[in-house]
Each structure stands twice: as structure tokens, then as C-alpha cells.
Amino acid sequence: MAVWALGINHTTAPLDLRGRFAFAIDQIAPTLHGLRQALTSSSSRHPGVETAILSTCNRTEIYCAANAPALDHTLDWLAHSGGVSPALLRSHSYTLENDLVARHAFRVASGLDSMVLGEAQILGQMKNAVRAAESAGALGSTLNQLFQRSFAVAKEVRSSTEIGAHSISMAAAAVRLAGQLFEDLSQIRILFVGAGEMIELVSTHFAARHPKQITIANRTLERGEKLAAQFGANTMRLADLPEHLHEYDAVISCTASSLPIIGLGAVESALKKRKRRPIFMVDLAVPRDIESEVKDLRDVYLYTVDDLASVVRTGQAQRQAAVEQAEVIIDHGVQSFMLWLDQRKPQGGTVPLIQLLNSQTDEWRAMEIARAKKLIARGEDIDTVLEALSRGITQKMLHGTMAELHKGDAEQRAQTADTVSRLFLRSQSKSSL
């Protein structure tokens, strides 16, 4: 099997381009179906292609496995799905094959490729991506092995190194930036838009500063109320947000909306009602929740996930030693995965040979059992039948070996004899030592 990957992330593509390729979890199954259809129709060498998609605010990555790689077809399909030219996508993406795919997946799972070095959230996101691919019927044995080994490597990295030490999360970075604008966070009113995992994480960090008011705005009021109950917060329907936006000093948004939900006009109106008192805004969504033009307004301090990069890189030097230790663990994991992959090759791999051996011995065994049953039916003595059964199987198994021992010149026969001894006479060899 060939394994390949195509991706864009926070280091290769700007936020707006990443937004074109962001897939919500409920989009993964139909998206994988479309990708598999496209790859299968592009070549007869891709029947039953395995696929998985990892989509977060910082990256979108496609992992595939088939009889032959199809990187160009994969890139063309992704470009079409995002409405951009293949040339544009190629200039902002990375493509990987075989051992490089394994190394990348292991580094991603371990938090070494994240904006926040060592962050643990990506591991959960990868597990969700694997579950989605499995539910869609797109995950086969090769990609399953790749991801399960990724999780094992990540676990070892986190337990054996201090990769997570000194790290600053996106949530903590947002609190730090807010603290630079407002002298006392306990005196501000905060609006959280959305009720997903990221908003829960950020709201937990802000709640620790005991702000004057916390409100959760969500499309589904029930889900918003569930999160609000953790902090004694208020709730608001998303439709009511423009009317109440001016009441909040800080707005943090992260939804799965495909279009901005906070527009320039709504923010301009809120600023007038606030009499130009500043608003701190953080847009953690990809695609954007807040129109990009809002950043140009006076008295608005808008930050995106990319704007937080310099903050979360704090402590990079302290973590460098842990990174080097993690890379050693990842190297070992890559070697182990490639060995497993090589063993499954149709030519030169051990797994196909083992399958053939099992098939051949099963055939011999079935033949001798059928012969034995006939002898028993004719009334033959059971001991005689068992003796014939065992002798028949033994002769069939050793026939090829005996023939090889008599073939070739003296050197070839000596090599064959050495191999036969190692395969069939192990116990005698050990006892003679």
C-alpha cells in the first residue's frame, strides 16, 4: 500500500484560505465519500482507497492509502472543493508520502506541529477524525494502523518528556491580551459566542478572573444553558446578539458557521451606543465569525487565531530539550510503522507469504482429512487411519524441502541445508549448545 497526505496549516496558508477548507464534523462523511469516488474514478489502481480528514482551526489534512499514490488527483479534488485553483492551493500546501506521512502524523498527534507547542487538544481532534472516517466506512487497516500508532507515540511523548511544560494555550493567550487592554478583568462584561469545546476552554480561563458578567450566545439555547450553568452565566439566542452587542467589553467567538455572524455594521452600531468605549474581540473560528473589516475600526481590538501566534510561542526555548526527546520517540515509531507496511507488500512482504503458506497447509490438511474419512467409512482400523493421516501431511510438507536439498551445486545445497536446519531443527540446535 502507498500512503500519502496533503495539507495546509497555520504556517503555510493564511486564515482566509484555511477557512475555505474547514470541514465541520457533520460534513466529514459526505466529504470522504466524494473524495473516495473522485480517486477511484481517476485510476483503476485506487479501488477501496482509504481516506481520513483532519480539520481544525489551524489545519486541514487529508490522509490516504491505496495501491498507488494519487497526490495530484487529491490536490485537484481539494482545490475544487474550496473553489480555488490547484496552483494556488499547491503554493500553500504540503504533500507527503510513506515514512514522511507517518512522521508528520506522529508529530501532529504529539503537539509538535501545533501553534501551541505541546498542546493536548489536537490529540482529541485526531481521534474524532478517525472515528468520523471509521463511521463513514473510509478507514482501512493501513490508515487505522497509522493513527493508532500516532496515538501510542503521542502518549509516550507526553509521559516521557516535558513537552507540555511552560506552554501557553490559546485560551490563556486570550486572557493575557485582554489583561493588556483592561486593568481589571473583574470589572468587564464578556460575551462568548458558541458553546463548543474551544469556547468552553476559553470561558473557563476567563471565569477564573471573576468578570462582572459572562453571557453565552448560541444558536441552540439548550446547549448554551448547559455551558452557562458551569459558570453561573447568562444565556442569549444568537439571533439577539446584534441588539445586545454594545453591552459587552469583550467578545470571544468560535462557531462552526460558514459565514461571519458578527458584521461590520453591527459592531459600528455597538460602538456608537458605547460612546466609543473599546471592545476587545477574539475570533477563534475558521472560517471567520467576525468580518475582517471590523479590525480597521477605532476602539476595536480584534485578534484572530493567527494573531495569537506570537503570544503562544512564549517559552519556546524551555521546551526545546523536550522536543529533541520527542523526535527520538517519533523516529522509532516511524521505523516501526514502515516495517509493518513493508511486511504487507504483495512482492517482498512477509504477510502475503504467510497467507499463502496458511492457504497451502489448509489445503493439504483438508485433503488428508477427506482421505481419512473415506478409510474410516470403509471400516479401516482407526490407528491405521491416524498413522496414514499424519504420514500424508508430513510428506506433503517436506516434499518441497527434500527436493531443494538435492538441487544445485555443493554451495547451494549447503545454504539450503543451513536454512532447513534453522526452520525445522531449532530445538536440536539449542540442545546441542
- Catalytic residue annotation: 57
DSSP 290: B
Separation between Cα atoms, residue 285 and residue 253, nearest integer Å: 7
Coil vs helix vs strand at 251? strand
CA 168 to CA 63: how far, in whole Å?
A: 29
Question: Which residues, including other chains, have CB under 8 Å from residue 181's CB and lie 6 or more apart?
Answer: 278, 280, 301
Tell me the C-alpha distance between 79 and 10, whole Å. Answer: 17
Question: How far apart (Å, rounded) are the C-alpha atoms in residues 69 and 192?
Answer: 44
The number of C-alpha atoms within 13 Å of 102 and in the hemisphere containing its C-beta is 25
Q: Is residue 183 helix, strand or coil?
A: coil
**Amino acid identity, residue 261?**
I
Q: How far is CA 234 from the centre of its chain?
A: 35
What's the CA gap between 181 and 165, in Å, rounded? 27
Contact call for residues 60 and 21 (beta carbons, < 8 A): yes
Degrees, nearest 5: CA angle 116-122-124: 145
**What's the chain's Rg over C-alpha atoms?**
31
Opening angle at CA 211, ends 207 and 213, nearest 5: 100
> Directed axis angle between helix 99-109 and helix 316-343, to 10°?
140
Measured between alpha carbons, how far is 113 from 105 in angstroms, rounded to an integer? 9
Grid coordinates representing 358 are: 496458511
Q: Are strands 279-283 and 250-253 parallel, antiparallel or unpaired?
A: parallel
All cell numbers assigned to 183: 486593568
Grid cell 554451495 in the structure block, residue:
411
